[in-house]
Amino acid sequence: MKILVLINNVPDTTTKIRFTGDNTAFDTTRVQWIINPWDELALTRSVELKEAGAVEQISVANVGAQITEPTLRKALAVGADDAIRIDAEPKDAFFVANQLAEVAKDYDIILAGIEASDYNGSAVGGMLAELLDFNSVSAVSGLNIENGELVINREIDGGSQVLSISTPVVLIVQKGIAKEPRIPAMRGIMMARKKPLNVVAPADADAKTTLVDFTLPPPKAACKMVDEENAKDLVALLHEEAKVL
Amino acid sequence: MSILVYTENWDGKFKKLSFELVSYAAAIAKEMGSSVTALSIGEVADNELNKLGNFGAAKVLNVNDSRYNSFDNRALSMAVASAAQAEDAKVVIFAHTNLGKAIAPRVAIKLDAGLVSGVTELPSNFSPFIVQKKVFTGKSFTNVQVDADVKVLTFSQNSFELVETGGTAEIVAFDPQLGDDIFATSVKETNKVTGKVLLTDAEIVISGGRGMKGPENWAGLEEMADLLKAGLACSRPVSDEGWRPHTEHVGQTGKIIAPNLYFAFGISGAIQHLGGVSSSKVIVAINKDPEAPIFETADYGIVGDVQKVIPQLIEGIKEM
Ligand SMILES: Cc1cc2nc3c(=O)[nH]c(=O)nc-3n(C[C@H](O)[C@H](O)[C@H](O)COP(=O)(O)OP(=O)(O)OC[C@H]3O[C@@H](n4cnc5c(N)ncnc54)[C@H](O)[C@@H]3O)c2cc1C
Ligand SMILES: Nc1ncnc2c1ncn2[C@@H]1O[C@H](COP(=O)(O)O)[C@@H](O)[C@H]1O
């Protein structure tokens, strides 16, 4: 089995969100970049499966400019065997999925995250599956490989399922796929320097959407406080004033 | 030309979300001078399908076929795309649920459409087509312009008021004609949550954090949830500690919810927690620390001990 893990480079989850140029672009100054949390869990699970002998090779791929290379090096340090960077500024999910299609077609399992924590697209994994005409399973919260057969847990709206599906397949993963993201060890970091990081020229593709501008939610009014002794008054406020009870 | 809405059913019934979707689609159809076709896939009785007419669907395409119960993504997207083509749909709308998120991107590729996921408003403009969505996990919004003839949207729950029209819909059987070999997902086991209000459907959510001190203290929250027909949630450390099941974990790495009312008991209000709940209409915080960051986001608050406050709230609710 060969696994490809899609790695998106996103701002650290505590980043203060600011915009530039009349609110038309996200302000990346002083931003710390991380592996998208779900991609990090997907990678962790892949490494576990490789250690268990169920997977031979793990590659990681990113569509991005050179600034994403530290993130790919980190993925190599966590345990990927090689990395591919498609050298293009991601325009939208359609553009990104088209870029990935060419490199992804030779893998048995492709893992994508359920959404990128920046633009919350929830799109690239599904689009890639469709472009390759692979099947896909979404909201995957568990992956095991038993005698070459994929056994998958997924969340459905209102419950969960265990299923099997043949490869090649795109799995779109969420919480549960691995317990905690794996932190690279010193040895991993040293080894990562020697692992291949191949830069590939972008394919010809358009975007179908553009982000016109951004707005921040309006500032909240001050929190209305109720005394601990009169907690019952809160029920009345929620009922009569906020009208949510 | 039409607006197609994929109305998911849960065991043959529609939830409020499906009616919300149809109402939203009807408002778009009005602006575009078009009409709404609802697509129902699975085993749904006619009297249930009829309800969609009351929210503005002129027509219901009914794919009554149990093979789709395995939620095979490829098969479902083929079925939706063929309905969209049959109806000459210019806008195809899904719910921003696990299923909607799984299929919408595939359908967008099939229809050569532009996709916007997690929309929260009606489009602000139709030519060019511009619609708002949440980004940065609720910390910001963006206006997205779609530069394609067909638009695919996934719609965030609780963003649009239901509008009852009193209308009726024409129900038409529809068969996308897929062979058995397309259905490649083989489901071995399904576990449905029963008897509890689902967190993602709940209009009221009651959530506990580390300030609850231990799983033995949840009885009061459970009682409140029963009284209010609310869903139960928790912060990440609470599910990590095993005090509550991981399905209740909300936040950036857990479930993202937007109920009308969110109660945070003993939750500090870390940014990753707020990422999952900040779109709630009203947030109530109970925390013994007046400096807890949750009070910056909350609409109502009590500085106090959860153990003292919970019994009083229960009493108040019972008297209501
Ligand atoms: C990448 C990443 C992703 C994360 N994702 C999530 C996520 O999805 N969801 C999530 O919740 N967290 C997430 N976290 C963790 C998050 O940063 C916080 O650590 C977590 O939300 C804190 O949980 P808490 O509020 O329950 O606990 P604490 O921060 O320990 O807060 C407990 C609160 O209870 C109050 N308290 C204590 N005793 C009482 C009492 N008797 N009565 C009233 N109040 C009392 C305290 O004043 C305190 O404010 C994530 C972190 C990272 C780094
Ligand atoms: N630029 C990118 N390069 C590689 N993978 C990506 C990129 N953007 C998104 N992905 C993958 O697609 C998933 C969902 O992202 P999105 O559809 O943008 O929300 C992410 O978790 C990644 O696995």
Cβ of A212 under 8 Å from any chain B Cβ? yes
Angle formed at CA B236 by CA B235 and CA B239, multiple of 5 degrees:
95
Determine, yes or no, domain membership for B82: yes
Rounded to an integer, what distance in angstroms lies between the CA atom of residue B157 and that of residue B20? 8
For residue B270, how far is its CA from the centre of ligand 1 (angstroms)?
Answer: 6
Q: Is residue B34 domain-resident?
A: yes
Q: Which one of B136, B199, B205, B210 would you pick to mutate in the ligand 1 pocket, going by the greatest count of ligand atoms within 8 A of its CB?
A: B210
- The CATH number of residue B259's host domain is 3.40.50.1220
Considering the domain architecture, whether residues B220 and B299 belong to the same structural domain is answered as yes
Same domain for B221 and B151?
no
Check residue A220 and give its pLDDT.
Answer: 81
C-alpha closest to that of A174 among A198, A143, A196: A143
**Same domain (yes/no): B29, B177:** yes
Instruction: Check whether residue B143 and residue B228 sit in a common domain.
Output: no
Q: Please tell me whether residues B149 and B222 are part of one structural domain.
A: no
> Would you give per-residue pLDDT tens digits along chain B (320 residues)?
999 999 999 989 998 999 999 999 999 999 999 999 999 999 999 999 999 999 999 999 999 999 999 999 999 999 999 999 999 999 999 999 999 999 999 999 999 999 999 999 999 999 999 999 999 988 899 999 999 999 999 999 888 999 999 999 999 999 999 999 999 999 999 998 777 788 888 999 999 999 999 999 999 999 999 999 999 999 999 999 999 998 899 998 888 898 999 999 999 999 999 989 998 999 999 999 999 999 999 999 999 999 999 999 999 999 98
**For position B159, what pLDDT does the model report?**
86
Helix H segments across A85-228?
93-104, 124-132, 186-192
pLDDT of residue B256: 87
A142–chain B Cβ distance below 8 A for any pair: no
Same domain, yes or no, for B138 and B219?
no
Same domain, B114 and B23: yes
Count contacts between A and B (CB, < 8 Å). Answer: 261
Q: Which of A141-150, A193-202, B122-131, B197-206 has the lowest mean pLDDT?
A: B197-206
Protein residue with least CA distance to atom 36, ligand 1: B211
B247 in the same domain as B174: no
The C-alpha atoms of residue A7 and residue A83 are separated, in whole angstroms, by 10
Q: Are B115 and A13 an interchain contact pair (Cβ–Cβ within 8 Å)?
A: no
Determine if ligand 2 sits within 6 Å of the CB of residue A117. no
CB-nearest partner of A135 from B73, B118, B275: B73
Distance (Å, whole) CA A43 – CA A34: 13
> Is residue B259 a part of any domain in this protein?
yes
B170 and B254 share a domain?
no
d(CA A104, CA A145): 20
How far is the C-alpha of A69 from the C-alpha of A58, rounded, in Å? 17
In a domain, B89, yes or no: yes
A101 SS3 class: helix
Interface test with A, best of B80, B109, B189, B287 (most A CBs within 10 A): B109
Can you tell me the ipTM of this complex?
0.93
Q: How far is the CA of A59 from the centre of ligand 1 (A)?
A: 35
Are A214 and B135 contacting, i.e. CB atoms less than 8 angstroms apart? yes
Question: Which domain, by its residues, includes B44?
Answer: 2-182
With H, G, I as helix, E, B as strand and everything else as coil, classify residue A28.
Answer: coil
Instruction: Looking at the CA of residue A36, tell me the nearest atom of ligand 2.
Output: 21
Q: Is residue B110 part of a domain?
A: yes
Of the residues B152, B182, B212, the one at which a domain ends: B182
Instruction: Flag whether B33 is in a domain.
Output: yes
B151 shares its domain with B291: no
Which residues have CB under 8 Å from B164's CB, separation 6+?
B54, B55
Architecture of domain A2-212: 3-Layer(aba) Sandwich (3.40)
Query: How far does the CA of residue A125 sit from the closest CA of chain B (Å)?
Result: 8
Do residues B159 and B244 share a domain? no
- Supply the pLDDT for residue B200: 82
Q: Which pLDDT belongs to residue B280? A: 92
Q: Which helix (H) or strand (E) holds A144?
A: strand A135-146
B149 in a domain, yes or no? Answer: yes
- Tell me the shortest Cα–Cα distance from B207 to chain A, in angstroms: 16
Is the full-model pTM beyond 0.90?
yes
Task: Check CB contact under 8 Å for A17 and B154.
Answer: no
CB A210 within 8 A of CB B144: yes
What phi and psi values does residue B157 have, to the nearest 5 degrees?
-55, 150
Hey, what amino acid is at B213? Answer: K
Tell me the nearest-neighbour CA distance from A207 into chain B, angstroms: 8
Does the pLDDT value for residue A188 go beyond 90?
yes
From ligand 2's centre to the CA of A141, what distance in Å?
17
Is residue B153 domain-shared with residue B297, that is, in the same domain?
no
Asked whether the beta carbons of B314 and B227 are under 8 A apart, the reply is: yes
DSSP β-bridge partners for residue A170: A110, A136
Cα–Cα distances (Å) from A99 to A26, B168, B227, in that order, read 23, 45, 52
Total structural domains within chain B: 2
| Chain B interface test: which of A23, A39, A210 (most B C-beta within 10 Å) | A210
Question: Is residue B258, in this structure, part of any structural domain at all?
Answer: yes
Measured from the Cα of B208, ligand 1's closest atom is 26
Residue B168's CATH number: 3.40.50.620
Ligand having the closest approach to the CA of A209: 2
> What's the DSSP call for residue A205?
-
**HEC string for chain B:** CEEEEECCCECCECCHHHHHHHHHHHHHHHHHCCEEEEEEECCCCHHHHHHHHHHCEEEEEEECCHHHHHCCHHHHHHHHHHHHHHCCEEEEEEECCHHHHHHHHHHHHHCCCEEEEEECCCCCEECCEEEEEEEHHHCEEEEEEECCCCEEEEECCCCCCCCCCCCCCEEEECCCCCCHHHCCCEEEEEEECCCCCCCCCCCEEEEECHHHCCHHHCHHHHHHHHHHCCEEEECHHHHHCCCCCHHHEECCCCECCCCCEEEEECCCCCHHHHCCCCCCCEEEEEECCCCCCHHHHCCEEEECCHHHHHHHHHHHHHHC
Nearest to A215 among B70, B141, B309 (CB): B141
| Residue in A126, A235, A238 closest to B102 by CB | A126
Structure tokens at A234: 């809160």
